[in-house]
Chains A and B, each alone.
Chain A
């Protein structure tokens, strides 16, 4: 077993991972890499296999097939050597409900030879205000911040964060994102799962889009959004009455013919049109709406988002 990271600098390498529960493959041939000094997002809808994948990386589950290497080691066989170097934030928190927040953090810190300064970490994540409160009485956001503190208190080289922003208020989220960026800048390999598009877009250097237990797209956010393809491809979003004629809408946008416009209605009353959006196209759309007697409750024009990419890839709505 090699003891150094893979030659390409990947701190986490997953190859052909398969995990079945009761014969059903939840993870089905998944490949993934995460580099040191980078934030890697595993993005996908609930049930896509994200949590199972990171649990295999954390040594909590044994793969049915494929290989997982963390810092060049096997998470199950080399668990003893890996545990001090890997920080984990579980989706369900893993916090004992009867313990006080500060006591819990001190307890986890006691497992490491040189943990982070608890005062500084508490201040960063705003834990001081509820250090004396039992976990049972904490809000969702407070629990998440405490769980994150527990994940990073041992100065890990690799951090796995399973849905770190779940249940967080906006201020907590910013504090968490700041800390994640700082970890990255310190050279930590951060792997986070999320079903939040904006989290992946704002935070991740590299995104793996996962659906049905496989990676269906992978790359930097820019690559996935195809930003370098130029401004020709843009997105028009429209919220209006459900059941509008999609072909007619495409023709309206294209001023008489579809002209490269593709219109979908991922949720009733919520339309997404991709094509060469310019002022004339939008004018054509609004004129058509007026003629049809339909009032738009929202109309936005912008570049593609990861959500659009996901819809293109799967035809499924993510959030």
Chain B
């Protein structure tokens, strides 16, 4: 039950204002942090330029132009870097430094803190899409405009899965451990997770495995949407499954202390 405070009692700012303040605080924290920017903006843009301008990595684009084929994968990578790597590291250190506990004692509360984090991730992703999209358009990217809503939906689903995984790690491991694991996972998924190179073009067992990873599913969904070939149902199911699993784990296992 929620007792009504007396007229003189100090009161909280409206919930929307609290969450908005937290969103802006989180967004600024990511955009101002050099290492985070390296992972969330510099790395995707470099990969975009490298993959489009050179043929160091051979890709079967199935008739599409190289930039049309590569850009959706780079957007999937951007989603992974912000929703997972950057968020896991930031939350782990905030947890270690007591920031999560302190903010949880203010009227923001735990739910407001979580909402602010998720919205902060989305805000950074908007910046990423604008920057990466602009560079790609400059390189001749012509996405299927009809597929944009589906791409946004897939991006939101991927963000949910990766953010849940980020919180699961950040809430259970030591900050230094999260730093190592989050970066390692990023590198492994970039190389063999089906983000940039479609799962079926990966060598050996990865060709079968990667489609069932959240990275491969998001890569396939974004390529399908933006190349105009349609989002594979399997990708959606895989992303939903991972979101449920990571979300369940994070809810059950997250430790504030």
Contact = CB atoms under 8 A, between A and B. Distances in A.
B109 interface: yes
Contact of B11 (A60, A92, A112, A150): A112
Contacts of B104: 60
A99 B13 contact: no
Contacts of A93: 97-98, 102
Interface stretch (A72-80, A272-280, A297-305): A72-80
Contact of A88 (B11, B102, B108): B102
Contacts of B106: 83, 88, 108, 111-112, 154
Contact of B97 (A73, A79, A96, A113): A96
**In which size bucket is the chain B interface?**
35 or more
Which secondary structure dominates chain A's binding surface?
Answer: loop
Nearest to B26: A96
Nearest to A75: B105
B141 interface: no
A296 interface: no
A61 B28 CA distance: 30
Which of A1, A107, A147 has the most C-beta atoms of chain B within 10 angstroms of its own C-beta? A107
A111 B11 contact: no
A3 B29 contact: no
Given A84-B5, A110-B18, A95 B11 contact: no
Contacts of B173: none
A112 B10 contact: yes
Interface residues of A, number: 40
A110 B17 contact: yes
A28 interface: no
Given A94-B97, A154-B107, A78 B10 contact: no
A170 B35 CA distance: 37
Nearest to A96: B99
Contact of A58 (B2, B29, B105): B105
Contacts, number: 110
B13 A110 contact: yes
A98 interface: yes
A94 B99 contact: yes
Given A83-B12, A111-B21, A113-B11, A78 B98 contact: no
A98 B33 contact: yes
A164 interface: no
Given A80-B2, A93-B98, A98-B29, A112 B103 contact: no
A97 B97 contact: yes
Given A73-B3, A107-B21, A94 B13 contact: no
A57 to B, nearest CB: 10
A155 B13 CA distance: 13
Nearest to A86: B105
A150 B102 contact: yes
B10 A84 contact: yes
Contacts of A96: 29, 94, 97, 99
Interface string B205-249: 000000000000000000000000000000000000000000000
B32 interface: yes
B3 A78 contact: yes
A59 interface: yes
A157 B8 CA distance: 10
Contacts of B32: 98
Nearest to A21: B257
A90 interface: yes
A318 B22 CA distance: 41
Contacts of B109: 79-80, 83
A147 B102 CA distance: 9
Contacts of B10: 84-85, 112-114, 154-157
Interface string B95-130: 001110111111111000000000000000000000
A90 B98 contact: yes
Contacts of A108: 103, 106
Contact of B98 (A1, A94, A157): A94
Contacts of B256: 60
A81 interface: yes
B56 interface: no
A58 B256 CA distance: 13
A97 B12 contact: no
B183 to A, nearest CB: 18
8 contacts: A60-B104, A83-B12, A96-B29, A107-B22, A112-B106, A113-B10, A154-B10, A154-B106
Interface of B: 1-5, 9-14, 17-18, 21-22, 25, 28-29, 32-33, 93-94, 97-99, 101-109, 256-257
Report, nearest first, the 6 A-B pairs whose CB atoms are least far apart. A94-B102, A94-B98, A3-B3, A110-B21, A88-B105, A84-B12
Interface of A: 1, 3, 58-61, 73, 78-81, 83-86, 88, 90-99, 103, 107-108, 110-114, 147, 150, 154-157
Given A98-B29, A99-B29, 15 more contacts: A3-B4, A58-B105, A60-B105, A78-B2, A79-B109, A83-B105, A83-B107, A86-B105, A91-B98, A94-B98, A95-B102, A96-B97, A96-B99, A110-B17, A112-B10
